[in-house]
Amino acid sequence: MAAEAGPLDEKAERLVKLAIAVGGGLEGAVRLHTRRGSASGLSPEELQHVAVLAITTVGWPSAIAALSWIREELEKSASLP
């Protein structure tokens, strides 16, 4: 497995995968990696920070779209029983 091939811990791995999805503008992957990151113990602030950091790389429109997808997923998980 690719995750086992390097020195990154699970938290860093989850953030990197989310960042790649954000950079690629892949809505489904952003949502998936938000859910997985949240389930792994990442805070909403940490997950949202990935999209904020993307502003200077992918531009405002792409970063804000990703931020909205992340927030929607976080809201969905917060409303679960």
Superfamily for domain range 10-78: AhpD-like (1.20.1290.10)
Average per-residue pLDDT for the chain: 94
pLDDT digits 0-9 by tens, 57-80 = 999 999 999 999 999 999 998 876
Count of CB atoms within 10 A of residue 51's CB?
Answer: 24
pLDDT of residue 5: 79
pLDDT the model gives residue 20: 98
**DSSP string across 19-68:** HHHHHHT-HHHHHHHHHHHHHTT--HHHHHHHHHHTHHHH-HHHHHHHHH
pLDDT tens across the length of the chain (81 residues): 776 778 999 999 999 999 999 999 999 999 999 999 999 999 999 999 999 999 999 999 999 999 999 999 999 988 765
Domain ranges in the chain are 10-78
